A and B are shown apart, each in its own frame.
Chain A
Amino acid sequence: MSDDHNHGTELVPAEPIENPGLPEHLPRPTDVDPVAEKRAERQVATLFGLSGVSAVLFCVSYFAIGKRDVFIGIEALQLALGTTLGLALLFIGVGAIQWSRKLMSDHEIVEYRHPAASSEEDRAEALAALDQGIEDSGIGRRPLVRNSLLGAMGLLGLPAIVALRDLGPLPGDSLEHTVWRTGMRVVQDVDGRPIRPEDMQVGQLVNAEPAAFFPSEEGEEPEVPEHEILAEKAKAAVILVRMQPDDIKDQERAQNWGVDGILCYSKICTHVGCPISLWEQQTHHLLCPCHQSTFDLADNGKVIFGPAARHLPQLAITVDSEGYLVAQDDFNEPVGPSYWERG
């Protein structure tokens, strides 16, 4: 463009003041005074010497101090190794810098710059060579060759993508289901004990899980195999909460889906999936520790604050013949974070 000041002129015109040129070099004490010079030399050597001492101390500590030894409340080995290694390194560094500042020549030198670009002739030659190459290949004159090559190169991308297919299985409908099903007991997450409604006080919140994650009462292996438990837990973890039945807004649902004011919600945040854990008894609010989405458990798990967009899914519960809390069925909607085909 004509407006660009691209004229190769001096960029910083020496105006309004002339460039006075490089200042005169002033000698340092170590340049003129042999005593100062000797002193600096000794200083540098001492620093290097101290580094060596620290390195040796590192090795001594490594063998002499026990792994569990404690020194004024701190792990002694860790303390000793960190300090000795740190000092061994620091002394070398400080010594080298001291050496360069005090003893190495401190005459500044000047180098000239050249434009980043090649000379005009070189560029012309390179462009000519490039043109010649393109011309010789005939790529411009033979569109058939060119286009078929481009097509082939493009298609090579396909194997590269297809070969990654086995990175994982397709989602299918697995995000829509959890291990919950009709009659499965809701158990304590710590020890797998089943829960009766009377075990819970009003205002109490219990972290719970499906019984399928724990060995059965007869001591059989858990229904869900060991290596799948984490993935299933990431969807099936729930919380049980008991409220004053009158406090619950949707009475019909409380009757049909809950037991005596006990409701069961997914524990997995509908934002990006953290387990939700902070319970405020008075307000019936449940707060996610990750990004503070807040859900009202007395109001169908509605979002009342924060970045989550969807209410917490509720699990319909009832009691079985022995009086323990069980699921009526699986969740009737996908739990956890949103995804495109969730609808």
Chain B
Amino acid sequence: MADSVATTNGTEPAVTAKANPAAAVATWADERLGIATATKKQLRKVFPDHWSFMLGEIALWSFVILLLTGVFLSLWFNPSMGEVIYDGSYEQLKGIHMSEAYRSTLEISFDVRAGLLMRQMHHWAAMLFIAAMLVHMMRVFLTGAFRKPRELNWIIGGVLLLLGILEGFAGYSLPDDLLSGTGLRIADGLVKATPVLGSYMSFFMFGGEFPGDQIIPRLYTAHILLIPGLILALIAAHMLLLVYHKHTQWPGPGRTENNVVGYPMMPVYAAKAGGFFFITFGVTALMGGLMTINPVWRFGPYNPAEVTAGSQPDWYMGIAEGLLRIMPGWETHIFGVTLSWNIFLPGQIAPIALLMVVLAYPFIEQWITGDKREHHLLQRPRNVPTRTAFLAAMITLYGLLWAAGGNDILATTFHLDLNTITYFMRGAIFVIPPLVFILAKRWCISLQRHDKEMLLHGYESGIIMRDAEGGYTERHLPLSPERAYTLTAHERPEVYAGLSGADANGLSAPKARLDQLRARLSKAWYSGDVQKPTVAELEEAHHHAELEHAHDAPLEGHAADGHQFDGRHEVAGEELTQKH
């Protein structure tokens, strides 16, 4: 960086600036802020292109939309639990007792023009925000983009997802309608089940006995200040690290671990990303305008003695809901105290454990594979079968729990017995994910094998050749060099074998056991993986292909059905179908 000071502090910058107004502004700013040094590289920073890199962007843009629409809502929303009698323009609720929070939500929906639009956009954007983070995270996971040096960004991302879910729950609770109050009631039950401190935590949270008159104002502070502030700070850190590490890229011709190939920030990436912001925003506006979400006026104000059948939280709470529902009713009464396993296992321990596994994942994988090098090229999911299969199993578990969270809806929609569904789910979450793991791993391995076949014998052209002796073979054509290179641009796995000899003797017993475990895990991790061909194997295959070619040579120049399609033969004057 030292020499950049000298090159940018030119003596007469104003001379070139005359020509272009943008440059004039930039010069004005640089003379005061010295920003040229910092931006000269960043303005043409390279961003590689791939559709899956857009997922994180959707999350970012939906957060911006949440900020904008949220500020609009906060101009009218009144976060108070004070009781009022409704006298607004929604006839069905006239004369009903409700909180000011609920009344102001009705006001936003019916009396503020564009208010309902903004409310619905806010809610849709919240769904999009969390969904996009989740899918973005899966992309990062599947392609190994969390590997060194990006482990911290993985952790930041995980915390962002958690904060997003909390923020969503807080927002969902604000309107103080029957559904949001029911959600809070369940939260109160979860908190109360905390060992030792439960009832105290509940009283401190609600400012007294549930529901009290404090929770909405408190959640409001969390919802519009505390959590968005944290999210904003973490997004900033996420982006800074992204810029520092530079984006990962897919391997391909000219793309290596040591470079990054793509379009410059200014102008191409800026136009694409900026355009994409408007598209996300536009789609959210259309959804907010045309698709009803959370019609709070239909549910009525919160009343702890009422609930509607089929009440459901927002989808991202689905797995917590599912866990709560399928947990058997275990409770221990001992020494005059109550331990509600049925609540704090699914409601507290399970989410915390899940979060820990997610955050620790990069380090767990690193320990198993022993790979502590930097990685900037992405991996194809099939080339890391165990990781891919693990995600497939986790997605299955997520789906099962999610379905369990709607077991009543499943029962009524498909006329099934509710209890049977629940018993089934209790077993299914332990049985089906491992099966999916095995299947997904097999599938990856067969895809790897397919890749290897193509490299060695070319791709299947669909052309059937009949040789002089009357035998039939399918003609294989070689891959293009670019394609072949791309398929082989990944590492050869190295199984961690465990320490041996003097190294192993020096270990204490627990450490030795840990080392053995690690070696076993590493072996299992790579078990069944198909290695890409070696140079020798490729040469041998090419040699073989040449022999084959010689064998076919007498047929060259003779038309065969399908020649027309291989793109490698003169076809002029040939008819598509030959007469026999």
Contacts and interface: CB of A to CB of B under 8 A. Distances in A.
A340 B194 contact: yes
Given A19-B256, A338-B340, A343-B333, A274 B185 contact: yes
A187 to B, nearest CB: 13
Nearest to B309: A289
Nearest to A164: B204
Interface stretch (A32-40, A241-249, A265-273, A320-328): A265-273
B186 A86 contact: no
A16 B275 contact: no
Interface in A173-230: 174-175, 189, 207, 209, 226-227, 230
Given A16-B535, A20-B481, A11 B305 contact: no
Interface stretch (A104-112, A123-131, A143-151): A104-112
Nearest to A12: B489
B533 A16 contact: yes
A93 B272 CA distance: 8
Contacts of B285: 82, 85-86, 89
Nearest to A10: B257
B538 interface: yes
Contacts of B482: 20, 23
Given A87-B282, A105-B268, A234-B210, A273 B185 contact: yes
Contacts of B538: 16-17
Given A116-B244, A307-B324, A170 B200 contact: yes
A343 B304 contact: no
Contacts of A174: 209
Given A83-B286, A86-B283, 16 more contacts: A3-B370, A3-B499, A12-B490, A15-B535, A16-B538, A82-B285, A100-B268, A105-B268, A106-B263, A113-B257, A115-B149, A230-B302, A291-B324, A306-B325, A340-B194, A341-B336
A97 B279 contact: yes
Interface stretch (A73-81, A133-141, A253-261): A73-81
B429 to A, nearest CB: 14
A198 to B, nearest CB: 25
Interface of B: 44-46, 83, 89, 110-111, 113-114, 116-117, 149, 182, 185-186, 188-190, 192-200, 202-214, 244-246, 251, 253-264, 267-268, 271-272, 274-286, 288-290, 302-311, 321, 324-331, 333, 336-340, 342-343, 346-347, 370-377, 407-408, 418-419, 422, 481-482, 484-485, 488-491, 494, 496, 499, 503, 532-535, 537-538
Nearest to B327: A307
A62 B329 contact: no
Contact of B307 (A17, A79, A274): A274
Contacts of B422: 292, 305-306
Given A233-B305, A290-B182, A339-B199, A110 B340 contact: no
A207 B305 contact: yes
Interface residues of A, number: 105
A19 B329 contact: no
Contact of A292 (B279, B280, B343, B408): B408
Q: Which of A164, A234, A278 has the most CB of B within 10 A?
A: A234
A12 B251 CA distance: 9
A104 B268 contact: yes
Given A20-B485, A97-B272, A230-B304, A307 B342 contact: yes
A289 B374 contact: no
Given A89-B285, A337-B343, A81 B117 contact: yes
Given A17-B481, A309-B329, A339-B198, A231 B111 contact: no
Contacts of B110: 67
Given A231-B209, A237-B305, A274-B182, A17 B488 contact: yes
Contacts of B302: 230
A309 B212 contact: no
B263 A108 contact: yes
Contact of A339 (B192, B268, B274, B283): B192
Nearest to B340: A338
A12 B290 contact: no
A159 interface: no
Contacts of A339: 192-193, 198-199, 202, 338, 340
Contact of B267 (A85, A100, A271): A100
A149 to B, nearest CB: 28
A337 to B, nearest CB: 4
Contacts of A28: none
A313 interface: no
Nearest to A310: B331
A226 B83 contact: yes
A275 interface: yes
A150 B190 CA distance: 35
A274 B343 CA distance: 14
Contacts of B281: 89, 93
B370 A90 contact: no
A293 to B, nearest CB: 7
A307 B188 CA distance: 16
Contacts of A342: 337-338
Can you list the 8 inter-chain pairs with the closest CB atoms, starting with the nearest? A82-B289, A272-B189, A22-B254, A96-B275, A93-B278, A90-B282, A89-B282, A309-B331
Contacts of B114: 62, 81
B186 A274 contact: yes
B485 A19 contact: yes
Contacts of A227: 83, 213
A343 B337 contact: yes
A3 B373 CA distance: 12
Contacts of B333: 343
B290 A17 contact: no
A293 B407 CA distance: 12
A169 B193 contact: no
Contact of B342 (A89, A209, A271): A271
Nearest to B335: A343
Contacts of A14: 485, 489
9 contacts: A6-B372, A12-B489, A13-B491, A96-B278, A117-B149, A227-B83, A291-B324, A308-B342, A340-B196
Contacts of B261: 22, 108-110
B275 A93 contact: yes
A309 B324 CA distance: 12
A337 B188 contact: yes
A113 B260 contact: yes
Contacts of A230: 211, 302-304
Contacts of B182: 274, 290
A297 interface: no
Contact of B149 (A11, A116, A271): A116
Contacts of A307: 324-329, 342-343, 346
A234 B304 contact: yes
A172 B262 CA distance: 65
Given A87-B282, A227-B83, A113 B258 contact: yes
Given A6-B372, A78-B289, A85-B285, A171 B305 contact: no
B275 A11 contact: no
A95 B275 contact: yes
A100 B271 contact: yes
B113 A189 contact: no
A278 B308 CA distance: 10
Given A113-B257, A339-B338, A89 B290 contact: no
A280 B535 CA distance: 73
